[in-house]
Chain A
Amino acid sequence: MKWIFIEDNEFDRDILDISFNEIKPELCADFSYTFYNNGTDFLKGLSNLECEIVISDMNLPDMNGIEILKKFKENDRLKDTPFLLFSTSLHQEEIEKAYALGADNYILKPDGFKATCETLLKIYSNYAK
């Protein structure tokens, strides 16, 4: 199982690394994840992309998560792959837009290490199998 994170913040990536390391025993043996720094790089490789879940930050240097989501869903091969958004704030308008464009979930970015582990496990149990 492969996840993709679009996340530019070094600190957030570090926390994700540490958290995945922590919950490793509870994940399947073939679990892996990759980071993309920005939307452009991610969208460039779309045609060869193989993954089970995409999780994008809302605020990226080149575009926001909604724009990435929109372009992602335009790809026929990938349009049924779950796409989740991580955000530091809950903007009602953005949330509605995200769901209208086919986002699977809009999640408040977990605050802290324990919360990150819990959130990742929750996502995992929702989509594994």
Chain B
Amino acid sequence: MQNEIASLNGILQLKLRGKKVEFSSSRSIEKYYKENNVTLSSEKDYLELVHPEDISKIENLLTRLRSNQVHESQIEYRILSKKMKTSWVLAHLNFYPSKKDETFTIKANQLDITFLKNHKTQLQRSNKELEQFAYVISHDLQSPIRQIWTYSEIIESKLDRETNSNLLPYLKSIQKTSQHMKQLTQDLLELCQIGRSELNFSVVNPQEVIESAKNILINEIKDSQAQINIIAKELPLKMTANERYLTDIFVNLFSNSIKYKKENSSPFIQIDYSLENNLHCFTIIDHGKGIPVNLQNKLFKIFKRGNKKQLGSVAGIGIGLSTVKKIIEIHKGEITIDPNFTDGAKFQFYIPVI
């Protein structure tokens, strides 16, 4: 036992009988405290090394455990060494009433998670950098792509059709490709812009939001003769959301439904709404081609797109649904696709009422 290594990993225990409190802890933790000039023999001693900002958090949890409000819980907090080195620990607490007498036991399994916390910080930082990179790339590519497209258009108009007609298909390919590239970078830019600046939440009218989404897609709707109907008996008159982003959700979902319509029929989209458990639930059914079950779990990932055989050669869905997902996530909601629905695609998204 004397060779026990000082560490923050171990067990802490509080035995409570009436007002009497018995504290015990693993030797490893005792040793850690000793090395920091604290003799660990009570709950109060233990809190001495806890970061001052985290003490009330622990005390609140202990109160709730003692008063029988919860029986099991997890808590993360910081412990400071004498050299002011910060360690993060995760404690899993259980509350056991004794079957024999009036004794209660609170047992905490404590784990030093400092290295995990550090990794997490690093990952968050590199994620941020990646996002920034994607933003800059998608932003800076806009202009060169526009130039390629424009100059190829100019070449096309100057081309001597008699002698160089064989070159025309190549030019058309350049134009088609640069248009596709333009769409991709614009979508990516839009995705990167979400959450870059502070979000303004305001009270919006969902009916009006849906109307303005339809307005944005007015040409696509006209060309495809799409029908978009609200089938819910009533929509809420007010909900709290970021108006532009909420509109984007509908724009993206509608435009996908229009792109992936059934052959030889015009798109038919239905919107349903219900209020459940304090959540705004929207359902969008499109009666289109639908999404194969094996692709459904990949659907919301960036750049995932149905293969050509399954969905036909339509571009640009890849980023659209990632955008939708990200928007819903910043509204603390969730989007799902119904795998059992066979008459097209059925998306449902929930946004908490605030």
Contact = CB atoms under 8 A, between A and B. Distances in A.
B1 interface: no
B316 to A, nearest CB: 17
Contact of B149 (A18, A22, A112): A112
A56 B164 CA distance: 38
Contacts, number: 21
Interface string B122-164: 0000000000000000000001001101110110010000000
A10 to B, nearest CB: 10
Nearest to B157: A113
Contacts of B150: 11, 15, 111-113
Contacts of B146: 11, 111-112
Contacts of A113: 150-151, 153-154, 157
A112 B146 CA distance: 7
B337 to A, nearest CB: 33
Interface residues of A, number: 8
A112 B182 CA distance: 12
Contacts of A11: 143, 146-147, 150
B153 A112 contact: yes
Nearest to A15: B150
A114 interface: yes
Interface string B161-193: 000000000000000000000000000000000
A119 to B, nearest CB: 13
B interface, size bucket: under 10
Interface string A106-120: 000001111000000
Interface string A84-112: 00000000000000000000000000011
A22 B157 contact: yes
Nearest to A9: B143
A114 B143 contact: no
Contact of A114 (B147, B151, B157): B157
Nearest to B151: A113
A111 B153 CA distance: 11
B180 to A, nearest CB: 15
Contacts of B147: 11
8 contacts: A11-B150, A18-B154, A111-B149, A112-B146, A112-B150, A112-B153, A113-B151, A113-B157
Given A22-B157, A112-B153, A113-B153, 16 more contacts: A11-B143, A11-B146, A11-B147, A11-B150, A15-B150, A18-B154, A111-B146, A111-B149, A111-B150, A112-B149, A112-B150, A113-B150, A113-B151, A113-B154, A113-B157, A114-B157
Q: Which A-B residue pairs are the 3 nearest by beta carbons? A: A113-B153, A113-B154, A112-B150
